[in-house]
Amino acid sequence: MSDLFGSDVGEDESAGLFETTRLGEAPALKPVPGPTSMNAHAPLAVRMRPRTLGEVVGQKHLLGPGAPLRRLVEGSGAASVLLYGPPGTGKTTLASLISGATGRRFEALSALSAGVKEVRGVIELARRRLLAGEQTVLFIDEVHRFSKTQQDALLAAVENRIVLLVGATTENPSFSVVSPLLSRSLVLQLQALTADDIEELLERARTDDRGLGGEIEIAGDAMDHLVRLAAGDARRALTALEAAAGAALDQADLDQADLDQADLDETGLDETGEGKRPVLLELATVEASVDKAAVRYDRDGDQHYDVISAFIKSIRGSDVDAALHYLARMLTAGEDPRFIARRLVVHASEDIGMADPTALQTATAAAQAVQLIGMPEARLALAQATIHLATAPKSGAVIAALGAAMSDVAAGKAGLVPPHLRDGHYAGAAKLGSAVGYHYPHDNPDGVLPQQYPPDELVGVDYYQPTTHGSERDIAGRVDKLRRIVRG
């Protein structure tokens, strides 16, 4: 494998991915890190950084055969790129893999500390290298923080391919990168890692010699909690695993120190006496190490149904604080926000209805916000809708009215439509009596007049029974008056 500066090193090289030399200096080759090298003391996220494209998890939409990013990583592409995506999705890793392809030299700048002088210095060094047949990859982290002047200083070098620019940003480059630089680069959007991706990373870190070397086993509920904590961020997942595994191993060492030699021979060594059994990493240790308790919640099991049931019943019971608690539990556990939004929309009609007609508008707007802006920002809209619905006056009149009407239909009370209400927009309708005798309500100054609307079997049946809560207090009197007029 070629290292970042084009020199052949061993396959175990994984640290120092972004160390750079002073401008003009030739980089010194580093020894291949072994189990006892200083690399063992690097953070787990650094040690487990992918060395090859095959070790990269996620981003399958960008790494398929012939895709621009794969071609760059494999050394056959020559376009500058802007990698745009949330933290911990592999932007820095992919930059390192691109730099290692076909012996390219690597320079890294941070937009937080570099100025125009540093940018021009790297470009001048890259120009001299290019004359010697070497291409330079310039990695700029947080490129959206570069000023317009700093970005403009890159334009000629990028356009003339003096440098192959790899910019990393967590913000949409369409709004933070100048148009000329944007037009000269491929913009590739990385996606948050899935739960399966995170679990694969954690399992690899657990077993790989660069990571924990199989010294621990991870209990199922502990793994689930680590995955939830990561929220799609690989670095966060590995950092949490490292903290929890360190605590578990330290405790295991203390426990073994308390055993006498006989107990140690019986419980601490494997059958050959050559090594310790793996230490089990349990949920309690993860919770204590990362200072965040696990939410007991199964999206496919009882907890899913129990918590959403308690959520809706708390809203129905007008306990806004309990409703917010259950909402927080669902959001923290990673429940699909679209599911929560759908339940709010249903609840707005089922338990509030005409007592506050604006409740349905708020719930629908929250559901739209989930679709338009996504998480985590959409959680505020869900909280707003929850508060509105929990504090709104309640009425079950809508669901009761519909239920009564549907029961009658199911019981066979579905008589013929009165002739004067039937469709009259076809030849011969009048001869059949259709639409004959229909009175147009707008011809009346009040907009309402006596006329039979239901089938004969249902004349005088009252389905909708308004309450005296909220807006239905006014609606109740209006409904009584309308019925008296319409029914004559």
For residue 286, what is the domain's CATH number?
A: 1.10.8.60
Q: Domain check: are 69 and 185 in the same one?
A: yes
**Is residue 341 over pLDDT 80?**
yes
Q: Which helix (H) or strand (E) holds 221?
A: helix 220-230
Pairing of strands 279-281, 80-84: unpaired
Q: Domain check: are 156 and 57 in the same one?
A: yes
Task: Report the alpha-carbon distance of residue 39 to residue 31 in Å, rounded.
Answer: 10
Residue 82, φ and ψ in degrees, nearest 5:
-115, 115
Q: Domain check: are 170 and 109 in the same one?
A: yes
Reduced to 3 states (helix: H, G, I; strand: E, B; else coil), residue 469 is: coil
Domain annotation covers residue 171: yes
Q: Residue 181: its pLDDT value, please?
A: 87
**Cβ-count burial of 124 within 10 angstroms (0-12 exposed, 13-18 middle, 19+ buried)?**
middle
Please give the residue that has the higher pLDDT: either 98 or 140: 140
Q: Domain check: are 77 and 183 in the same one?
A: yes
Share of the chain above pLDDT 70, in %: 83
Q: Residue 41: its pLDDT value, please?
A: 74
Task: Report the alpha-carbon distance of residue 39 to residue 47 in Å, rounded.
Answer: 7
**Domain end position, chosen among 227, 260, 290:** 290
Domain annotation covers residue 237: yes
Task: Report the alpha-carbon distance of residue 107 to residue 114 in Å, rounded.
Answer: 12
Encode pLDDT of 77-128 as tens digits.
667 888 888 888 888 888 878 777 656 787 888 877 777 888 888 899 999 9
Q: Domain check: are 430 and 349 in the same one?
A: no
Q: How many domains does the chain have?
A: 4
Q: Residue 267: its pLDDT value, please?
A: 52
Q: Domain check: are 261 and 363 in the same one?
A: no
Task: Report the alpha-carbon distance of residue 83 to residue 275 in Å, rounded.
Answer: 44
Q: Domain check: are 82 and 140 in the same one?
A: yes
429: domain CATH number?
1.10.3710.10
Q: Residue 60: its pLDDT value, please?
A: 84
Which of 28-32, 73-77, 347-351 is predicted most confidently? Answer: 347-351
Average pLDDT rounded to a whole number, residues 222-233: 84
Confidence of residue 31 (pLDDT cuts 50, 70, 90): very low
Task: Report the alpha-carbon distance of residue 12 to residue 5 in Å, rounded.
Answer: 16
Domain annotation covers residue 1: no
**Is residue 14 over pLDDT 60?**
no
Share of the chain above pLDDT 90, in %: 17
Q: Residue 344: its pLDDT value, please?
A: 96
**Is residue 16 over pLDDT 50?**
no
Residues 280, 284, 286, CA angle at the centre, nearest 5°? Answer: 75
Domain annotation covers residue 46: yes
Encode pLDDT of 233-285 as tens digits.
888 889 889 888 888 888 887 777 766 455 545 555 544 445 568 889 988 88
- Identify the sign of the CA torsion 466, 468, 469, 474: positive
Residues 6+ apart with CB under 8 A from 1: 8, 9, 10, 11, 13, 51, 52, 100
Q: Residue 358: its pLDDT value, please?
A: 94
Whole-model pTM over 0.85: no
**Cβ-count burial of 282 within 10 angstroms (0-12 exposed, 13-18 middle, 19+ buried)?**
middle
Domain annotation covers residue 445: yes
**Is residue 185 over pLDDT 90?**
no
Encode pLDDT of 272-331 as tens digits.
445 568 889 988 888 887 765 545 554 544 566 788 888 999 999 988 999 999 898 888
Reduced to 3 states (helix: H, G, I; strand: E, B; else coil), residue 324 is: helix
Q: How far is CA 151 from CA 94, 124, 156, 366, in A?
A: 21, 16, 10, 38
Which of 114-118, 337-341, 363-367 is predicted most confidently? Answer: 363-367
Please give the residue that has the higher pLDDT: either 365 or 477: 365
Average pLDDT rounded to a whole number, residues 431-455: 83
52: domain CATH number?
3.40.50.300
Confidence of residue 27 (pLDDT cuts 50, 70, 90): very low
Q: Residue 40: its pLDDT value, please?
A: 62
Q: Residue 166: its pLDDT value, please?
A: 87
Q: Residue 381: its pLDDT value, please?
A: 95
Mean confidence (pLDDT) of the chain: 79
Q: Domain check: are 386 and 445 in the same one?
A: no
Q: Domain check: are 210 and 132 in the same one?
A: no
Q: Domain check: are 249 and 310 in the same one?
A: no
Q: Residue 367: its pLDDT value, please?
A: 94
Encode pLDDT of 372-416 as tens digits.
888 888 899 999 999 999 999 999 999 999 988 888 888 888 888
307: domain CATH number?
1.20.272.10
**Is residue 5 over pLDDT 60?**
no
- Per the rule left: phi > 0, alpha: psi between -120 and 50, beta: everything else, 340 is alpha
Please give the residue that has the higher pLDDT: either 130 or 270: 130
The 8 Å CB, 24+ separation contacts for 207-210 are 208/48, 209/35, 210/12, 210/14, 210/47, 210/48
Which of 7-11, 80-84, 361-365, 474-478 is predicted most confidently? Answer: 361-365
**Domain end position, chosen among 170, 189, 208:** 189
**Is residue 20 over pLDDT 90?**
no
Q: Residue 207: its pLDDT value, please?
A: 92
Q: Which domain holds residue 245?
A: 195-290
Note the helical H segments in 258-377: 261-267, 283-290, 302-316, 320-332, 337-347, 358-373
Q: Domain check: are 173 and 210 in the same one?
A: no
Q: Residue 263: its pLDDT value, please?
A: 56
Q: Which helix (H) or strand (E) holds 120?
A: helix 116-131
Task: Report the alpha-carbon distance of residue 319 to residue 310 in Å, rounded.
Answer: 11
Encode pLDDT of 209-226 as tens digits.
999 988 999 998 889 888
Q: Domain check: are 58 and 160 in the same one?
A: yes
Domain annotation covers residue 90: yes
Task: Report the alpha-carbon distance of residue 320 to residue 322 in Å, rounded.
Answer: 6
Q: Residue 359: its pLDDT value, please?
A: 94
